[in-house]
Structure 1
């Protein structure tokens, strides 16, 4: 029947369920529809908001800090999921703590995500028994002296945060159910309650019986400050490093080597390719293999938007391959991976059969290359040469690209056809990501 409002006739529980799929700003605006909708949004248990008090462009912002505090206080019950992205000017930093205090007092919080999108804003976290997922970005974290941890926490993501060694250790030690940890510490600060002149431990130790995935960013401020004491369930590790000078490149390379034994039992390893550059600065004499063998490793992923690989970094790449005897999958995610000769800037000539790679002899079956532009593939040909010449049981090289060039350059195809293959079963497949459904 025309003009019948069937949605308003639905049960309240169903209408609240419909509101849960809307952005918070739109859910709150439904209070103006009619008297029956006026307070429905206050029964929501999830809140995802964007608050901009810094920029003039506030189109998607939920409003002022005062109105947002009122919205939070108006919720009838616990808010299980709270996500906030905010721009706060210096005079409004205290509002973030006020928002969180309201959420904490309601109890029942399962997932908390805060991104201040600016300079780190100070926040104090209480012990929360129900919290399972914690994601903090650009936040200055402190813990109270009576902090007891998060008993149910499964995922911990600290990205570009400021925190003391003491507090990050308390977070980890008080969360025995952690399965995923991501640490990207902007700055390790000294705890405020440290005694004057007392030397503080600079080492964060992981003793996590259920930890499955670890992401760690080696930086100048936190290099060599993570050690895995016990993580029998750890399977996946992501290591990133961001050096800014030759001195720190050497230090981060040494820190990476020291960290290798801690993750020797994992099955999946992701590195940004800059790791090889840092290692190349540690010592000109590249070892034949790493200090430890990754006998459980099945997948190695190398990521970087652009990297120029010289002879030293290529030797470290080979060192990793020799230390991973049962590697089955190799992934390269890059825009451009150039092989340059140190003397004249020419392309690599590593187009020969080499011995000493157990994984290339017996286990490596799939190589996946992701590149944005197919025309950059020419810069990857030296790597494809190396793989095809040395991988005896290789079945597939899949090259996934994303650009507007519909035809593969004939000379690239011609060169691929002329490469000698160690495996008669090896196929090279091109996939245009724009054509994938």
Structure 2
């Protein structure tokens, strides 16, 4: 009786509709999906119809044969394949036969139907060289840790919406060709990219671009980066690391001031530090900007204070501001405190956002001296006339001293409320100073 019931249950399982079976397989690891071929005749080679395939060799014990097995899996697929991810890791240089198989594997993908999303993640040294095949249905392309070459006669990915490149080696002509032919891009990420020959230079003219991330880390990797036209741009993230030269400062200033249609802007500390090396365009404004995120560190010099004030002055309609503190050497703490009290903790005129739009300020002060934190907080309490909420995230050890100091602060906005949140998840509120 029990055997008969089990057989009935097995029949019910096997009689499931094709789409439901595929949905079940899609939630399994690929090796488990392949094993389902042994369940019953109706499940045999069912995995070859998977619309999504994720191949990763990071935890594979048989790493030496992994590339051959990966190629066999892809060649066995009957399609259509909509999403493919390849995560390839190797500490030593990739053997020539593995490189050939990996390239052959990629060349097979367009034959498996309309690939819509492609993630190619490599963790190899030197970077693995790949030639991107032509995909007619590609919507999302994520590249990481590889050296990219475009095929001869490349016509672009005309349906591409999202392009992300992290630590990618690519020559200047091919980078511009890739971006220029992707006219439908709505999201573009260029992070830590470089060329082995001349520095990269790119001008972006993308009519539908809404999200842009541009992060430069390699010395002399970029000579020019500029947004020529992006009328739909809403969010921009721009970062730089360890560059303090005049050339890099001029380049970053031109890039930042070219994102004039952005609603939200996030900047790294080294971008601001670069700005302190060049003359700032004081007649410049961000007419659409409403949200700003930037690192908070005056770096013990007047130029950094000037950059901070320039940002506020150039954003007349700013509504939300997030400032995250950066650590500095202890011996600078006293100099920074004196500098900020001298330049910031006083009335400032001519700031349109402080006069009429800035209602929300969030400050993270974990890496900052308590006196310096209070000086910055006092600046906003004193100058932001329509401020409604000032959030402070700090360490529990300094909360009490901060509350005592802020209770003495002069507050301009009649609606201002201060919320202090510590690293122990406690919250404290200050309001009605008057």
TM-score of the two chains, using structure 2 as the length reference: 0.84
Change (3 A) 1:18 1:280: same
Query: Are 2:260 and 1:264 aligned?
Result: yes
How much has 1:257 moved relative to structure 2? 1.9
Change (3 A) 1:428 1:29: farther
Query: Are 2:254 and 1:292 aligned?
Result: no
Match of 2:407 in 1: 417
Match of 1:361 in 2: 355
Q: Deviations over 1:252-295 (max 9, x none)?
A: 21112222442223221110122111111336xxx5x5452111
Change (3 A) 1:346 1:226: closer
Change (3 A) 1:201 1:252: closer
Query: Are 2:95 and 1:105 aligned?
Result: no
Report the secondary structure of 2:143's partner residue: strand
Query: Are 2:275 and 1:279 aligned?
Result: yes
Q: Structure 2: how far apart are the matches of 1:62 and 1:344?
A: 58
The correspondence of residues 117-132 of structure 1 with structure 2, limited to 5 A, is 117-119=123-125, 120-132=127-139
Report the secondary structure of 1:94's partner residue: helix
Query: Are 2:19 and 1:13 aligned?
Result: yes
Query: Are 2:56 and 1:50 aligned?
Result: yes
Q: Structure 2: how far apart are the matches of 1:340 and 1:315?
A: 22
Match of 2:67 in 1: 65
Instruction: Work out the number of aligned pairs and report it.
Output: 411
Report the secondary structure of 1:175's partner residue: coil
Q: Structure 2: how far apart are the matches of 1:19 and 1:399?
A: 48
The correspondence of residues 365-376 of structure 1 with structure 2, limited to 5 A, is 365-370=359-364, 373=366
Match of 1:325 in 2: 316
Q: Structure 2: how far apart are the matches of 1:181 and 1:252?
A: 21
Change (3 A) 1:302 1:94: farther
Change (3 A) 1:375 1:322: closer
How much has 1:250 moved relative to structure 2? 2.7
Q: Structure 2: how far apart are the matches of 1:158 and 1:23?
A: 26
Which of the two has greater helix per residue?
A: 2
Q: Residues 391 and 423 of structure 1 are in contact (CA less than 8 Å); yes or no, is this contact kept in structure 2?
A: yes
Q: Deviations over 1:18-51 (max 9, x none)?
A: 2222333443343344444342221111112212
Deviates more, 1:201-210 or 1:163-172: 201-210
Query: Are 2:398 and 1:396 aligned?
Result: no
Q: How much is the aligned-residue C-alpha RMSD, in angstroms?
A: 3.2
Q: Residues 136 and 158 of structure 1 are in contact (CA less than 8 Å); yes or no, is this contact kept in structure 2?
A: yes
- Structure whose alpha-carbon radius of gyration is higher: 2
Equivalent residue for 2:94, pick from 90, 100, 119: 90
How much has 1:189 moved relative to structure 2? 4.2
Q: Residues 326 and 367 of structure 2 are in contact (CA less than 8 Å); yes or no, is this contact kept in structure 1?
A: no
Match of 1:227 in 2: 226
Match of 2:155 in 1: 148
Q: Structure 1: how far apart are the matches of 2:53 and 2:35?
A: 14
